[in-house]
A and B are shown apart, each in its own frame.
Chain A
Amino acid sequence: AQSVTQPDIHITVSEGASLELRCNYSYGATPYLFWYVQSPGQGLQLLLKYFSGDTLVQGIKGFEAEFKRSQSSFNLRKPSVHWSDAAEYFCAVGLHNTGTASKLTFGTGTRLQVTL
């Protein structure tokens, strides 16, 4: 069964500093990988996703993520964090079942706090 690990429960960065959120996955085949963001009191919003091809994926709000098969990682990065980026970030791996719906397995999330 697939699984996702986000080692950092809570990260604090200063506004303007760079950010990297870690995600490691366990999956037997080529994974479908996602990053979602959850702002306080809101639902989840997709930041970016990786299926195949270029291992560096660009997303919304200036985020990017890099798929590294050798490290089973899909870390999320942003060069310069804004105070509005404070939120909970979830990494997820997708399993496609032929003939049925896909299932996403989520990590436990990383809470990002941004100091001014």
Chain B
Amino acid sequence: DTAVSQTPKYLVTQMGNDKSIKCEQNLGHDTMYWYKQDSKKFLKIMFSYNNKELIINETVPNRFSPKSPDKAHLNLHINSLELGDSAVYFCASSQGGLVIDTQYFGPGTRLTVL
């Protein structure tokens, strides 16, 4: 069984569109994350939720809005997509929010904005 899953795996869209990426974890973890990996493989955290509550919100444009309907899901909605949003987006989860809690990553969603 997949521990952290993301849909879709690939997403190609036009500038200005709105899109969502879904993430689900079946590990029973309390904390979930969204990371962005750019074309140079640089990985940077965007958001973190603990028990559906937003606890980390890095410097991310307001066009990005995470939503956590329950502990097992953390979706990422992006409005008015721009070329610079093209990247691989990774979802991750951990048992708690402590640094010692291992983060488990999903397979990633490759977003291409044309």
Write the residues of chain A forming the contact surface with B, with a CB cutoff of 8 angstroms: 32, 36, 41-46, 49, 51, 88, 90, 94-96, 100-104, 106, 108-109
Nearest Cβ on chain B to A89's Cβ, whole angstroms: 11
Write the residues of chain B forming the contact surface with A, with a CB cutoff of 8 angstroms: 4, 31, 33, 40-45, 48, 50, 55-56, 90, 92, 97-108
Complex CA gap A46/B3 in Å reads: 14
Complex CA gap A43/B31 in Å reads: 17
A43-B105, A44-B43, A90-B43 given; 9 more Cβ-contact pairs under 8 Å: A32-B99, A94-B99, A96-B98, A96-B99, A101-B33, A103-B56, A104-B99, A106-B43, A106-B44
Contacts of A43 in B (CB 8 A): 4, 90, 92, 105-108
Q: Decide: B99 and A108 in contact? CB cutoff 8 A.
A: no
Among B44, B97, B105, B108, the residue within 8 A (CB) of A102 is B97
Complex CA gap A94/B56 in Å reads: 14
Contacts of B90 in A (CB 8 A): 43-44
Nearest Cβ on chain A to B34's Cβ, whole angstroms: 12
**Which of chain A's residues has its CB closest to B40's CB?**
A108
Complex CA gap A83/B105 in Å reads: 23
Contacts of B56 in A (CB 8 A): 100-101, 103
Contacts of A45 in B (CB 8 A): 105
Say whether, besides A44-B90, A101-B48, A51 and B100 are in contact (CB < 8 Å).
yes
Complex CA gap A60/B23 in Å reads: 26
Nearest Cβ on chain B to A97's Cβ, whole angstroms: 8
Contacts of A88 in B (CB 8 A): 41
Q: Decide: B50 and A101 in contact? CB cutoff 8 A.
A: yes
Contacts of A103 in B (CB 8 A): 45, 48, 56, 99
Nearest Cβ on chain B to A35's Cβ, whole angstroms: 12
Complex CA gap A95/B99 in Å reads: 7
Say whether, besides A43-B107, A49-B102, A101 and B97 are in contact (CB < 8 Å).
yes
Say whether, besides A43-B4, A101-B31, A101-B50, A109 and B41 are in contact (CB < 8 Å).
yes
**Which of chain A's residues has its CB closest to B6's CB?**
A43
**Which of chain B's residues has its CB closest to A102's CB?**
B99
